[in-house]
Amino acid sequence: MNATINKTVLEDVKINVKIKLSALWAAVMFLYAYADIKAFFRPGIIEGLIAGKAGDFQITQGFLLGSAIMMAIPSVMIFLSLVLKASVNRWANLILGIVYSGIIIGTLLMGGAWAYYIFYAAIEIALTGLIAWYALKWPKQ
């Protein structure tokens, strides 16, 4: 019996490194937002915020501005990863991927992290590490 086997080959398109970087920054931003939202469910967090404290930090205009800048940079990198020239793009993603991996590691070392936060942080570190990796291994023409 000669049965014809119909094998379908799925199309696999090579994705440009700029798109990969942009998608990684978007994923990181979602994780940042979800981790911060989940924090509101922890006992004492909202009360602390109302009292003007974020963990061990006093909430001031400077604190809020600093945290706004820290979160604006990854947000803007979603767009900049698509439009910057390759040489600038590579360095920006390499440096910021490393910096943001360090920031996440630093927040873990501050102590008091709950299991959900460690879970999010592990994924965030992996993704920001991938950002640095893809930037380092940027394809040559």
Q: How many domains does the chain contain in total?
A: 1
Q: Is residue 130 part of a domain?
A: yes
Domain extent, residue 107, equals 17-36+74-136
Q: Is residue 25 part of a domain?
A: yes
8 A C-beta contact, residue 131 and residue 27: no
Confidence of residue 112 (pLDDT cuts 50, 70, 90): confident
- 68's CB contacts (< 8 A; 6+ apart) are none
| Entry pTM | 0.88
pLDDT (0 to 100) of residue 113: 83
Return the sign of the alpha-carbon dihedral for residues 113, 119, 62, 102.
Answer: positive
pLDDT tens per residue, range 87-106? 999 999 999 999 999 999 99
DSSP 84: S
Q: Is residue 53 part of a domain?
A: no
pLDDT at 4 over 80: no
Q: Is residue 120 part of a domain?
A: yes
- Give the Cβ contact number of residue 3 at 10 Å: 5
pLDDT (0 to 100) of residue 91: 98
Higher pLDDT, 12 or 76: 76
